[in-house]
Amino acid sequence: MGSGSAEGAERRRRRLGEQERRAQIIGGCVEVLAREGYRRASLARIAEAAGVSKGLVSHYFASRETLMEQTAITTVGFLRDEVRSALDLTASVPDIIRAALRYVSQLRESHRTELRALDQIVHNLRGANGTGLDLRAYEDTYRDE
């Protein structure tokens, strides 16, 4: 066997912390949503993409809907941080706004997978009462830091 497969096996055996494992599963969810869409994003497909068992996905996320909501929240936070890190906040306000608009306009190409996954969640996730995502979950996006 080549060293690459031994390295991969070692990485799979290493115990990940809760946050790392959740991030791994959310990454698999983003991948499956972007590739196959919301309706085909089963826990089994997500687990396979994340390289974990379906049972482990269920251990960290109480339901498919909870996983989808957490994936949306995490992905919005990731994109927000990407935009924030690209900006020089010491610049003038008009320059910051122009830079933010330029950067956001490029997200469609630079972060296609994340945006496709978010689109799938926003247009398909419904709670028991038929409503979509609770926008209060995104308050960090609008918080002044």
What is the average pLDDT across 70-98? 93
Instruction: Supply the pTM of this predicted model.
Output: 0.79
* 2-9 long-range Cβ contacts below 8 angstroms, 24+ apart: none
Structure token pair of residue 111: 């972060």
Asked whether the beta carbons of 122 and 132 are under 8 A apart, the reply is: yes
DSSP code of residue 130: S
Q: Tell me: the pLDDT tens digits for 88-124?
A: 999 999 999 999 999 988 988 999 999 999 999 999 9
Q: Which has the minimum average pLDDT: 46-50, 67-71, 107-111, 130-134?
A: 130-134
